[in-house]
């Protein structure tokens, strides 16, 4: 045998150690997915940070003492609202410009409310403060309508002219003509005191008595004159003054704008009342006029009342037109509105210029003067008429306080 060892006789060679298998390795595509997710999250965070920085710059984010960001309100200039000048913008500061106010219009018509609030700096209740409406039952007052008007005026920086404590047609039905003089005097006193006291300091002037004179200038034949005698007028002024010493007290009538027999009688009545110490502060000239009739010597008439030491006021101006309305009639109407304003401005004692409603949509004229209408300075669609243009033009002609020419507007 040879010296070679047979395969069976060799020492077996130990197997080479087997290295442990490495953990499973994802494919290259799978390995990139986590990195992409991380990048995506990072990118979102960067975008969020940039957006936050932009908002901070835009809205002025500030740190508080607690180190919490609080957004400051951005400063945005208020829009400038441009509107044409109104009567109240041009009227001299010594003269209020007003309108009678209709309660239904105030409640139901936004356009009516807006114009009433912007055009005038004084309002007069057309019906809301009349006795029959305020006290429909004995000692039962319905203040809602009057309160609404006074509140509206206060919201719009307007004065209130109270109308009226006693009118010839506005006595409640429950007032019994058979009552004694003492009973009637007590009822009248209580009414005047209750109404004036409620609005003390909120009504600048009152029509204490309305239409006390008849057409011929005599005292009107009323329940009060028959039962209480002519002294009831002075008593009413004294009761009103006691209830609100700061209110201006007026006697108001129609047909007295020019020199008429009735105006002469009113002048004498006011003179007598003031001689007796009655606190009559002013005379109201209603001025319900026709388009084709002008008051005679209106300026001279207002001046002779002013010489008594009282204020004068145009309290219920309207100018009715015989229908159908035409452009020529509107121009004559406008001229008459201008004339009445000129008269008021010519008399320093004239403290108020009031139109009796400003829109034909709510005028009382058609219901009381058949065949007439279109009496106001705005038409039924609230569009200014030539009468409004004439008033504005007249006001623009007023010299400025510096003497440099027309006033604002």
Residues 132-159: what's their mean pLDDT?
Answer: 97
| Cα 372 to Cα 291: distance, rounded to the nearest angstrom | 10
Residue 341 has pLDDT above 60, yes or no: yes
* CA-closest candidate to residue 187, choices 233, 147, 135: 135
Q: Taking 90 as the threshold, does the pLDDT of residue 47 lie above it?
A: no
Least confident range from 7-11, 104-108, 183-187, 293-297: namely 7-11
The confidence score (pLDDT) of residue 19 equals 41
Q: Lowest-pLDDT range, 31-45, 95-109, 266-280?
A: 31-45
The average pLDDT across 372-384 equals 98
What is the per-residue pLDDT for 38? Answer: 40
**Residue 301 lies inside a defined structural domain of this protein:** yes
Cβ(299)–Cβ(343) under 8 Å?
yes
173, pLDDT greater than 70: yes
The percentage of residues in the chain with a pLDDT greater than 90, rounded to a whole number, is 76
* Any domain includes 2: no
- 313 in Cβ contact with 352 (< 8 Å): yes
Is it the case that residue 54 has pLDDT exceeding 80?
no
Q: What mean pLDDT is predicted for residues 207-215?
A: 97
Asked whether residue 27 is assigned to any structural domain, the reply reads no
Residue 178 lies in a domain: yes
Nearest alpha-carbon partner for 309 in 285, 277, 341: 277
Instruction: Kindly state whether residue 5 falls inside one of the protein's structural domains.
Output: no
Q: Is the peptide bond before 164 cis (omega within 30 degrees of 0)?
A: yes
pLDDT digits (tens, 9 = 90+) for 79-133: 555 678 999 999 999 999 999 999 999 999 999 999 999 999 999 999 999 999 9
- The yes-or-no verdict on residue 41 having pLDDT over 50 is no
CA 60 to chain CA centroid, nearest Å? 39
HEC per residue, the chain = CCCCCCCCCCCCCCCCCCCCCCCCCCCHHHHHHHHHHHHHHHHHHHHHHHHHHHHHHHHCCEECCCCCEECCCCCCCCCCCCCCCCHHHHCCCCCEEEEEECHHHHHHCHHHHHHHHHHCCEEEECCCCCHHHHCCECCECCCHHHHHHHHHHHHCCCEEEEECCCECCCCCCCCCCCCCHHHHHHHHHHHHHHHHHHCCCCCCEEEEEECCECCCCCECCCHHHHHHCCCHHHHHHHHHHHHCCCCEEEEEECCCCCCCHHHHHHHHHHHHHHHCCCCCCEEEECCEEECCCCCCCHHHHHHHHHCCCCEEEEEEEEEEEECCCCHHHHHHHHHHHHHHHHHHHHCCCEEEEEECCCEHHHCCHHHHCCCEECCCCECCCCCECHHHHHHHHHHHCCECCCCCCECCC
Percent with pLDDT over 70 in the chain:
78
Query: Is residue 233 in a domain?
Result: yes
Kindly report the CATH number assigned to the domain that includes residue 258.
Answer: 3.20.20.80
CA angle at 346 for the pair 342 and 350, rounded to the nearest 5°: 95
In a domain, 55, yes or no: no
243 neighbors 199 (Cβ within 8 angstroms): no
**Is 75's pLDDT higher than 60?**
no
Q: Is the dihedral of CA 64, 69, 70, 76 positive or negative?
A: positive
Checking if the pLDDT of 159 tops 50, the result is: yes
The pLDDT score that the predictor gives to residue 400 is 64
Please choose, from the candidates 190, 166, 188, 191, the residue with its C-alpha nearest in 3D space to the C-alpha of residue 179: 188
Number of domains in the chain: 1
User: Which range is least confidently modeled, 21-30, 146-155, 272-281, 334-343?
Assistant: 21-30
* pLDDT averaged over every residue in the chain: 84
Containing domain of residue 324, as a range? 87-396
Specify if 57 maps to a domain: no
Q: What is the pLDDT of residues 357-369, one digit of tens each?
A: 999 999 999 999 9
Per-residue pLDDT, 399: 81
Is residue 286 predicted with pLDDT exceeding 50? yes
Task: Report, as residue numbers or ranges, the catalytic residues.
Answer: 211, 316
Mean pLDDT of 150-168: 97
Query: Between 298-306 and 327-346, two packed helices, what is the crossing angle to 10 degrees?
Result: 30
Chain centroid offset of residue 86 CA: 13
């Amino acid at each position: 045998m040879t010296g070679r060892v047979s395969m069976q006789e060799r020492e077996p060679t130990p197997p080479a150690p087997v290295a442990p298998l490495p953990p499973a390795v994802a494919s290259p595509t799978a390995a990139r997915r986590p990195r992409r997710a991380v990048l995506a999250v990072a990118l979102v965070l960067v975008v969020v940070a940039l957006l936050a920085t932009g908002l901070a710059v835009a809205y002025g984010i500030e740190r508080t003492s607690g180190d919490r960001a609080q957004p400051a309100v951005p400063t945005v200039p208020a829009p400038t609202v441009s509107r044409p000048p109104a009567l109240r913008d041009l009227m001299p500061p010594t003269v209020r410009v007003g309108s009678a106010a209709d309660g239904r219009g105030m409640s139901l018509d936004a356009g009516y409310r807006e114009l009433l609030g912007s055009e005038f700096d004084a309002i007069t209740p057309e019906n809301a403060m009349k006795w029959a409406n305020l006290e429909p039952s004995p000692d039962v007052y319905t203040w809602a309508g009057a309160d609404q008007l006074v509140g509206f005026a206060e919201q719009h920086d307007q004065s209130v002219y109270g109308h009226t404590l006693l009118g010839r047609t506005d006595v409640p039905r429950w007032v019994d003509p058979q009552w004694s003089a003492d009973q009637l005097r007590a009822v009248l006193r209580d009414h005047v005191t209750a109404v004036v006291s409620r609005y003390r300091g909120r009504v600048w002037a009152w029509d204490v008595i309305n239409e006390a004179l008849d057409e011929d200038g005599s005292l009107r034949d009323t329940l009060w004159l028959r039962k209480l005698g002519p002294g009831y007028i002075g008593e009413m002024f004294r009761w009103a003054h006691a209830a609100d010493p700061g209110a201006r007290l007026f006697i108001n009538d129609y047909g007295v704008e020019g020199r008429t027999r009735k105006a002469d009688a009113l002048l004498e009545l006011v003179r007598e009342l003031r001689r007796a110490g009655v606190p009559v502060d002013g005379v109201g000239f209603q001025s319900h006029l026709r388009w084709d009739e002008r008051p005679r010597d209106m300026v001279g008439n207002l001046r002779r009342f002013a010489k008594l030491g009282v204020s004068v006021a145009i309290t219920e101006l309207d100018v009715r037109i015989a229908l159908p309305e035409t452009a020529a009639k509107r121009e004559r109407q406008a001229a008459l509105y201008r004339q009445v304003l000129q008269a008021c401005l010519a008399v320093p004692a004239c403290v108020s210029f009031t139109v009796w409603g400003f829109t034909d949509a709510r005028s009382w004229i058609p219901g009381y003067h058949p065949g007439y209408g279109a009496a106001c300075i705005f038409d039924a669609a609230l569009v200014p008429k030539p009468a409004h243009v004439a008033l504005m033009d007249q006001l623009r002609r007023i010299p400025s306080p510096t003497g440099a020419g027309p006033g604002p507007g």
